Amino acid sequence: MSTITSRKQSDPAPAVTRSQRIKAGWSRYIASLKYSLHVITHPFDGFWDLVHENRGSLAAANTILVLFLMTRILKLLYTDFQFINSPIQYIDVFEQVASLLLPFLILCIANWAGTTLFDGKGRFKDIYMAMCYALVPYILLQLPLILVSNIITFDEASFYNVLMGISVIWCVFLAFVGLMEVHDYGPLKTIIFLFATVFGACVIIFLLLIFFSLLSDAAGYIVSFVREIVFRLY
C-alpha cells in the first residue's frame, strides 16, 4: 500500500485526495463493467473502443471471468435434473474451475504468442480482456436459464435448448469479432489464427506435460538417491 501511495505522490497532479481517487476508480470500474453490455450488443465498435479507447478495465474482465466460472458451477448444481446429466456426487468444484480456467488461459497465451509475431496489434492484456468480455452473454442467459429449468418440464425442453444454443453461439461470435478488432485483422486472417491458436495451445499443453513428467522424474531420482544413501549409511 505504501509503495503505491508513494508512487502516486510522485505523479504530477497531486491535488487529488485519496478518497476521491478511490471514488474515481470505483466509478471507472462500474463504467467498464456496464460497458460490457454495450460490447455484446455492438461488438465491432465495442471491442475497438474497449481496447483502443481504454473503455474496458482488467478489474471488470476479472469480475466477468469469476462470474462465468460461478455460472458454470451454479448451472451444474442447480439446473433441474431433467435438463442436465451431472453426477452431483462426483462434482469437484476445483476440478470444474481448473478445467475451464486452464484452457482459457492457455488459449489466450497461444493466441498472443501467435499474433504478436504476425503484426497483431493486441497486447496480452487486450486479448485477455476481449475474451473475458466475450463471455458476458453466457452469464446473462445461463443464469436465468437455471431458474427457468426449474419451472419447465421435460417436454418443453426445446425452448430451453434454443436459448442454451444462442448463448454459446453469441459467445463464439463475440470472441471472433473481439480477436478481429483487438488485432486489427480481417476475418480471413482471424480464422487462420483461430486454428493456429488451437494448434499453439496443443503445443503448450504438450510442453507442459513433458516439463512436469521430467520434473517428477528428476524429483523421483533425487528422492530415491537420498533413500539409498540413508539405507546404506544407517
Partner 1 sequence: MKAMRTVVSLLLVIVTLVPFGCAFAAQDGFTSTYTYNYDYWEDLRESPDAYRVETVLNSSSLGLDVPLNSPQSLYVRNHDIYLCDTGNNRIIQIRREGAVCTVTRIITAIQGSEVAELKTPSDCFVDVNDNIYIADTDNHRIVMVDKDLNFIKEFVKPDDPTFDGVSSFLPSRFVVDSSGRVYVQAKNVNKGLVKFEPDTTFTGFIGANKVVYNLAEYIWRKWFMTKEQRSQTSNFVPTEYKNVYIDNDGFIYATNVAFDEYDLKWDAAYPIRRLNNLGNDILIKNDRYPPIGDLDWVASSSDPAEGPSKFYDITVLDNDVYIALDNTRGRLFGFDSQGIMLWAFGTRNSVDGGFRQAASIEHMGYDLMVLDSLYCTLTIFTPTEYGRLIYEASEQYLRGEYDTSADTWREVLKMNANYNLAYRGIGRSLMRQEDYEQAMYYFEMANDRENYGRAFRYYRKIWVEENLWWVAIIIAALLIVPLIRKRIKIMKWEVEYYEHNHVKKAE
Q: How many CA atoms lie within 13 A of 191 on its CB side?
A: 2
Shorter beta-carbon distance to partner 1: residue 134 or 146: 146
Shortest distance in whole angstroms from residue 153 CB to partner 1: 4
Shortest distance in whole angstroms from residue 83 CB to partner 1: 8
Which whole-number Å values give the CA distances from 208 to 98, 124, 194, 234, in the listed order?
A: 15, 20, 21, 38
Tell the burial category of 71 from Cβ atoms under 10 Å away from its Cβ (0-12, 13-18, 19+).
Answer: buried
Shorter beta-carbon distance to partner 1: residue 81 or 124: 81
Shortest distance in whole angstroms from residue 148 CB to partner 1: 13
List interacting residues with partner 1 (CB under 8 A): 81-82, 87, 89-90, 151, 153-155
Shorter beta-carbon distance to partner 1: residue 94 or 154: 154
Q: Where are the alpha helices (DSSP H) in 42-85?
A: 43-52, 58-78
Shorter beta-carbon distance to partner 1: residue 109 or 157: 157
Shortest distance in whole angstroms from residue 40 CB to partner 1: 23
